């Protein structure tokens, strides 16, 4: 039986205008899809009268297998790096996007951030530190001396809010706080949302403290 090769034109075809096969013994395309992708042609042998679609199916399966192997060899996507309280500079920079933030050292030798958002001044204390480093938790704090809040209003705030615990000291100063556990790390998006929550708490508590006393 004489062996011939199948050649398909190297261009794209309009829908419904499938071209007639041209038989050429000198060269051929590996399969029709390589032609559409403008790839090089390679000689293949097709028996006269045999269904040449079987050759196309076989080559298509080989192409799909090669694609699957290339995806597997690419490896997993890299996860977003996590941040924690061991890197106060990164945390300060995220807080500073909402206003101002300055990194300092408190009387215990631990990091301390003093910031201001929407005109509200606050502090971020670092907790569970070892020799001023390797901290695990943060405490956002903002205190008011005036107006004075009664214990009843402080309790009402705490009963109605999920985040932001309010306290009242013996001198009459009220404090709003938000504690955050950063042990094992969180994404930057997660911490940014925490700062956004703190910003809302500052605004809401200031309005609550200056609002009706009833």
28-76 pLDDT, tens digit each: 444 444 444 444 444 444 444 455 456 556 666 676 666 666 656 655 5
The alpha-carbon radius of gyration of the chain (Å, integer) is 35
Q: How confident is the model at residue 8 (pLDDT cuts 50, 70, 90)?
A: very low
**What confidence score (pLDDT) does residue 33 get?**
44
pLDDT value for 213: 63
* Distance, CA of 130 to CA of 29 (rounded, Å): 70
**What is the model's pLDDT at position 85?**
94
- Using the CB atoms, write b or e for 79-112: b if 16+ within 10 Å: eeeebbbbebeebbeebbebbebebeeeeeebbb
Burial class (CB in 10 A: 0-12, 13-18, 19+), 53: exposed
Q: What pLDDT was estimated at residue 13?
A: 44
- Which one has a higher pLDDT value, 62 or 198? 198
Average pLDDT, the chain: 77
| pLDDT tens digits, one per residue of 102-117 | 999 999 999 999 999 9
Yes or no: say if 201 and 178 are a contact pair by the CB < 8 Å rule. Answer: yes
Tell me the per-residue pLDDT of 181-194, one tens digit each, with 9 for 90 and over.
999 999 999 999 99
Q: How far apart are CA 182 and CA 188, in angstroms?
A: 11
CA distance 189 to 26: 61
Q: Is the pTM of this model over 0.75?
A: no
Report the C-alpha gap between 31 and 6 in whole angstroms: 9
* 130: DSSP letter: B
Asked if 151 and 175 count as a contact pair (C-beta separation under 8 A), the reply is no
């Amino acid at each position: 039986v004489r062996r011939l090769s199948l050649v398909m034109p190297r261009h794209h075809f309009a829908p419904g205008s499938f071209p007639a096969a041209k038989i050429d013994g000198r060269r051929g395309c590996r399969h029709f899809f390589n032609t559409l992708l403008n790839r090089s042609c390679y000689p293949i042998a097709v028996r006269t009268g045999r269904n040449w679609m079987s050759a196309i199916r076989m080559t298509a399966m080989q192409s799909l297998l090669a694609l699957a192997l290339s995806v597997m060899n690419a490896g997993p996507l890299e996860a977003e790096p996590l941040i924690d309280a061991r890197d106060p500079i990164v945390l300060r920079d995220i807080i500073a996007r909402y206003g101002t933030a300055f990194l300092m050292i408190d009387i215990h030798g631990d990091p301390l951030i003093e910031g201001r958002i929407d005109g509200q001044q606050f502090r971020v204390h670092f907790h569970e530190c070892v020799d001023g480093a390797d901290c695990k938790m943060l405490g956002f704090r903002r205190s008011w001396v005036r107006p004075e809040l009664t214990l009843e209003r402080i309790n009402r705030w705490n009963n109605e809010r999920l985040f932001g615990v309010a306290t009242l000291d013996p001198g009459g100063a009220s404090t709003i706080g938000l504690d955050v556990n950063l042990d094992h790390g969180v994404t930057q998006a997660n911490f940014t949302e925490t700062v956004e929550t703190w910003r809302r708490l500052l605004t809401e508590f200031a309005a609550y403290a200056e609002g009706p006393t009833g």
